C-alpha cells in the first residue's frame, strides 16, 4: 500500500507542475521553463565574472541561476525578478535553504527592475519579451554591461561569444553580448 501512496503523491506533484506551467503561460504571457542546472553553470562561466559584480536574472524562475552564481562567486550580489508567485516563493525558499545571502529574488515584473547598476544580466525569455527589453536596455545599461542569453538571441545585436549546449533535439546556444 505504501508504494501506491508514493505513486499518488508523485502524480499529484506532476499535475501541480503542469498546472503551474499552464497558468504561467496563460496569465503571465510566458511559461515557466527552468534553465537546466548545467546550463546555468555554463552561463555563469561564460559571463567570466570577476567576483564583485552586481548581476540580474530577469525572469529568474526558481532562482537556480542566482544560487549557482552565488556559489561560484561568493562576492557578487545577485538579484532576480519573477512574476509567478508560486515559482517565486519556491525560489525564495531554495535561496534561503542554500544559505547564499548574496542572492535575492523578488516577485516583480522584470520591466520594473532598475538595471543601472548591472554588471551582467542573465536571460532565458521568450523572443517577444527579449525584443521588448531592448528599449529598457537602451535607457538603463552602461557600456560594458554583459548580457548572457540562453536559447534566444537579442535581435539586432551580435554576440561576442557563443557556446552550444546539448538539448533534447540537438543543441541550443548560450550567447554572450557586451552592451555598447
Percentage of the chain lying above the pLDDT 70 cut: 92
C-alpha neighbours within 13 Å on the C-beta side of residue 67: 18
SS3 33: coil
In angstroms, rounded to a whole number, what is the distance separating the alpha carbons of residues 50 and 35?
23
Please check the confidence at residue 29 and state whether its pLDDT lies above 70. Answer: no
Residue 66: count of CB within 10 angstroms of its CB: 30
- Which of the four pLDDT bands, split at 50, 70 and 90, describes residue 58? very high
Structure confidence at residue 121 (pLDDT): 99
Percentage of the chain lying above the pLDDT 90 cut: 76
Residue 166, C-alpha cell as written in the block: 546539448
In angstroms, rounded to a whole number, what is the distance separating the alpha carbons of residues 124 and 57?
9
Residue 168: count of CB within 10 angstroms of its CB: 5
Mean pLDDT, rounded, of the chain? 91
Q: What is the pLDDT of residues 113-146, one digit of tens each?
A: 999 999 999 999 999 999 999 999 999 999 999 9
Amino acid at each position: 500500500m505504501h508504494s501506491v501512496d508514493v505513486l499518488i503523491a508523485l502524480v499529484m506533484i506532476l499535475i501541480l507542475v503542469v498546472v503551474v506551467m499552464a497558468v504561467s503561460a496563460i496569465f503571465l504571457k510566458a511559461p515557466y521553463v527552468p534553465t537546466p542546472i548545467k546550463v546555468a553553470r555554463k552561463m555563469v562561466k561564460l559571463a567570466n565574472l570577476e567576483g564583485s559584480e552586481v548581476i540580474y536574472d530577469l525572469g529568474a524562475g526558481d532562482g537556480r541561476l542566482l544560487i549557482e552564481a552565488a556559489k561560484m562567486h561568493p562576492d557578487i550580489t545577485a538579484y532576480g525578478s519573477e512574476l509567478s508567485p508560486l515559482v517565486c516563493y519556491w525560489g525564495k525558499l531554495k535561496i534561503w535553504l542554500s544559505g547564499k545571502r548574496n542572492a535575492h529574488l523578488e516577485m516583480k515584473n522584470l520591466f520594473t527592475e532598475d538595471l543601472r547598476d548591472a554588471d551582467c544580466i542573465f536571460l532565458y525569455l521568450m523572443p517577444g519579451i527579449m525584443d521588448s527589453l531592448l528599449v529598457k536596455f537602451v535607457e538603463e545599461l552602461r557600456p560594458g554591461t554583459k548580457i548572457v542569453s540562453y536559447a534566444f538571441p537579442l535581435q539586432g545585436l551580435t554576440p561576442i561569444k557563443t557556446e552550444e549546449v546539448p538539448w533534447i533535439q540537438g543543441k541550443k546556444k548560450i550567447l554572450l553580448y557586451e552592451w555598447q
